[in-house]
Amino acid sequence: MECHRRRSANRWYRAWQASGIEALASKGPGGDKCRLDEARLARLRAELARGPAAHGYAEDQRWTLARIADLIA
């Protein structure tokens, strides 16, 4: 773990030296942009609000990534 911290610190230091404090600013959250249009996103929100039991998951009342993917598909 120590090696990773040192590498990160060195990378940050080099960025700061090359481009100043602005180089250390957050670039925002990572990941892909949402590919659902507004209508599909609204439907997904509504279905998630109904809860897992409404979709047949009575035993386990949690949303998982796999279950959400099934809703989207």
Enumerate the H helices of the chain as residue ranges.
2-19, 38-50, 65-72
Domain that holds residue 46: 2-26+34-72
The span from the first CA to the last CA of the chain, in angstroms, equals 39
pTM reported for the whole predicted model? 0.58
Q: Is the pLDDT of residue 1 over 60?
A: no
Q: Look at the chain and report how many structural domains it folds into.
A: 1
Amino acid at 26: S
pLDDT digits (tens, 9 = 90+) for 8-62: 899 999 999 999 999 999 888 888 888 999 999 999 999 999 999 999 998 888 9
